Structure 1
Amino acid sequence: MRLSDLAALPLTYREVGGTAGTLPSGYHHVHKTAVIGRGRARFEEAATAGMRWGMLRGAGIRVEPTAAVASVGAEVIVHLGPIAAPCRVVYVVDEPDRRGFAYGTLPGHAESGEELFLVTYDAATEEVSAVVTAFSRHATWWSRLGAPVTSFVQRVVTDRYLRAL
């Protein structure tokens, strides 16, 4: 699989943008949040790192993106050991107190669904949080067969995302 081949591929699910609201039924759902600091400067630092694939890289995952900064339409191959997972950024959040992006799966990914990586700032408490929201289901025979293992890996990686920034 080459990065240059991804632009021609369709997303593998219909509920594009589903992580922005109520998560669609028929999928496994994940929503985790962790406080990662305090203050506007910490928010800006974490949000900037997050938009440069920081939650993934900080979790020890090799990232091969088409853009240095996540933007709508940017493709990325996420490498977790020998597994390559192709994705495309489907939306970006760029608000004063919320910044991040969501990507969706492309053919060749073991799962089908979407994942949102977000950094938030609560002006009342000055808390900065990392947020991961996702919906997914198995897309390959081997991910279905290895469901207990793939589910465990997803939980571990999600926790690493939250500590990455």
Structure 2
Amino acid sequence: MITRGRLSYPPYLQLATLKLAKGRSPAEIGLRRWTVTDHSAVLGHGEEVFAAASERLLTWRAHAHARVRAERLGNLVRLHFGPTTSSCLILREERTATRTTLVYGTLPVHVESGEEAFLIELAPDGTVTGRVIAFSRHAWWLAKLGGPVARAVQRWANRRYVAGMRP
């Protein structure tokens, strides 16, 4: 069951992923003891690629590419990956002529504690870039026990999310 609880990380860190995306350092925004992951890739060129990539992100097909099934109910989303189900609160979802943004934060029933931002940008030269940036800590006992494996899975998923944005 998805509940409308508090985020599983401190309120002062809400939307910190967007600050990281703008170039702020983890230490400067209070993320010294958090793991930060950041992956980006060129998705292609032109407005058609940007529109298609944005559609893939906002309809959860980028997540499906990483074998994550998403169930959305308003601003709440339940993510299913393997034997786990994790709940998040969507903090920002917006689309402009040159940028699409989706940010969600973890709720207490998530295997990790933290936040993840998905960005698609159309540069003036027509280059379309997809990016996933996150900060997290293990919250589930099994993730804590298998820390290095859990981090490797997270990096794998981030690469797959970005690849899944590609039309």
| TM-score strictly above 0.5 | yes
Give matches, 1:99-114, under 5 Å. Answer: 99-114=100-115
In the alignment, is the contact (CA less than 8 A) between 2:56 and 2:164 conserved in 1? no
Range with greater deviation from structure 2 (82-91 or 54-63): 54-63
Which segments of 5 or more consecutive residues in structure 2 lack a partner in the other structure?
A: none
In the alignment, is the contact (CA less than 8 A) between 1:120 and 1:130 conserved in 2? yes
Query: Are 1:78 and 2:76 counterparts?
Result: no
| Number of equivalent positions | 154
In the alignment, the residues of structure 2 paired with residue 29 and residue 157 of structure 1 have an alpha-carbon distance, to the nearest angstrom, of 14
Runs of 4+ in structure 1 off by over 4 angstroms are none
Q: Taking every aligned residue pair, what percent have the same amino acid on both sides?
A: 32
* 2:61 alignment counterpart: 54
* Residues 118-160 of structure 1: CA deviation (Å, up to 9, x unaligned): 1111122x11111000000111322111101101111111111
The CA RMSD measured in Å over matched residues stands at: 1.3
Which segments of 5 or more consecutive residues in structure 1 lack a partner in the other structure?
A: 68-73
Query: Are 1:12 and 2:13 counterparts?
Result: no
* Residues 101-127 of structure 1: CA deviation (Å, up to 9, x unaligned): 100000111111000011111122x11
Give the drift of 1:92. 2.3
Give the drift of 1:10. 0.9
Query: How high is the TM-score relative to the length of structure 1?
Result: 0.87
Query: Are 1:32 and 2:39 counterparts?
Result: yes
